[in-house]
Structure 1
Amino acid sequence: MKVDIHAVNFNIDRKLVDFIQEKLDKLEKYYDKVVASDVYLKLENTSDKENKTVEIKIHVPGDEILVKKTSKSFEEAIDSAASSAERMLVKRKEKIRMFS
């Protein structure tokens, strides 16, 4: 799956890129019609410890799945966003099965 990673106003290191790619590649096991995904990493300007926001936009035929999570670290946010996306993809697959 093609994954585009956009780091807003900061540079991203290779380890984080590999981590994101690995997490999103696993999503294809749950729904094989995923076309591509965009990942946006943002640092929020708050004094709050949970200031790292991850938005994952997954492109599937005829629709987009959007997941947004904020956490203390990007890894944690990506982890939780990927598991939310996984549940949404499984739900979508079951719904399509029911109607076909």
Structure 2
Amino acid sequence: MKVNVHAVNFSVDQKLVNFIQERMDSLEKYYDKVVFADVYLKTENSSEKENKCVDIKMNVPGDEFVVQKKCKTFEEAVVSAAEALERSLLKRKEKLRTHI
């Protein structure tokens, strides 16, 4: 799957990009028709500890999933968002099976 990582107002290191790519690739075992995913990383200026925000927009034929998570670290937010996408992909797959 093609994963585009966009960091807003900072540069992202290769280690984080590789982590995101691995996590997104693992979603293909739940639904193999994923076209691409756009991952947006940004930090919010606030006094809260949970200021790392991850938005993932995943495109599948005929649909698009958008998940936004906010956590203490980008890795934690990516894992949380990937779990939410996993549930969405499984739900879509089940829905497609009932229509066939």
TM-score bucket of the superposed structures, by smaller chain? over 0.9
CA distance in 2 between partners of 1:96 and 1:4 (Å): 27
The one-letter amino acid paired with 2:38 is D
Deviations 1:11-70 (A, max 9, x none): 000100000000000000000110000000010111100000000100000110001000
CA RMSD of aligned residues (A): 0.4
TM-score when scaled to structure 1?
A: 0.99
AA matched with 2:80: S
Percent of aligned pairs with the same residue? 65
Residue in 2 aligned with 1:55? 55
Q: Residue 99 of structure 1: CA displacement?
A: 0.6
- Secondary structure, counterpart of 1:39 in structure 2: strand
1:5-44 pair list within 5 angstroms: 5-44=5-44
Matched residue, 1:76: 76
Residue aligned with 2:12, SS: coil
State the secondary structure of the residue aligned to 1:57: strand
SS in 2 for 1:46: coil
Runs of 4+ aligned residues of structure 1 deviating over 4 Å after TM superposition are none
Cα distance in 2 between the residues matched to 1:23 and 1:59 = 16
How many pairs align?
100
Gaps of 5+ in 2: none
Q: Which residue of 1 aligns with 2:92?
A: 92
TM-score normalised by length of structure 2: 0.99
